[in-house]
Structure 1
């Protein structure tokens, strides 16, 4: 008898929580205790009174595991709402990265040309290096970093993914 292995899917989860000490630890602990992987995790205060934060989590798993993750997140006391942006509908996803590239001569010219193509901004420069700022979907950032690797990548810092449903839905 052959058991079909479920396909793993990438999901972006938006979790609205009370802005209180220890909530991030509880969320990450929920994932690690069950062996779930977090690809990206960002947190931001989103209310005027600083009482609510949005935690954006990118994770992978078969549908049943994603359902389990959502159900377990919903059971955490300071969690108000868990939204699987991937399942609900079209959403906007962005990530920011700072990418340091060393190079002179032709490699320097090519790095600048590629940065222009990817709409990356030069935020710092020396005679032998650049720091680029790039924003966009994770795939765009990944591609840019991969191309810079060929030209003298020195260092990368990434913010992680933030996401939001399109339209008026919250």
Structure 2
């Protein structure tokens, strides 16, 4: 038995192989220019998102509702999307850490008073470029430790008291 392999050329394959296209370097340069044009708008959006999150977490003694936690998580994701247009050292890493913390809070009814306050303050400082990169790693580790503590507490509560 013989096997016949046929390669079918798609319209896309025919188009991108045509003469007269642009070089990859030129395409990347154009994409970078387009992203730079969006930077100011995205920075403004990040500031708006930060203020919305701060408003939801202004009282450190009050646990945000599940709806508010979902909104905070969505706002963090929106800020991450905006980060493609500019470079602020440590912002992406901090946003991921805050996302992990919010995810831990969403998975439990537990609340450590002020759990989100340091994370929101850190986001503000990183946005302004007020944190040295060598210090930022330790602060992000602190946010991750808080998320781990919340998750561990939630597991302990689910297991119930020791006999």
Q: Shorter-normalised TM-score: what interval?
A: under 0.3
Structure with the larger helix share: 2
Structure with the larger strand share: 1
Higher Cα Rg, which structure: 2
User: TM-score, normalised on structure 1?
Assistant: 0.22
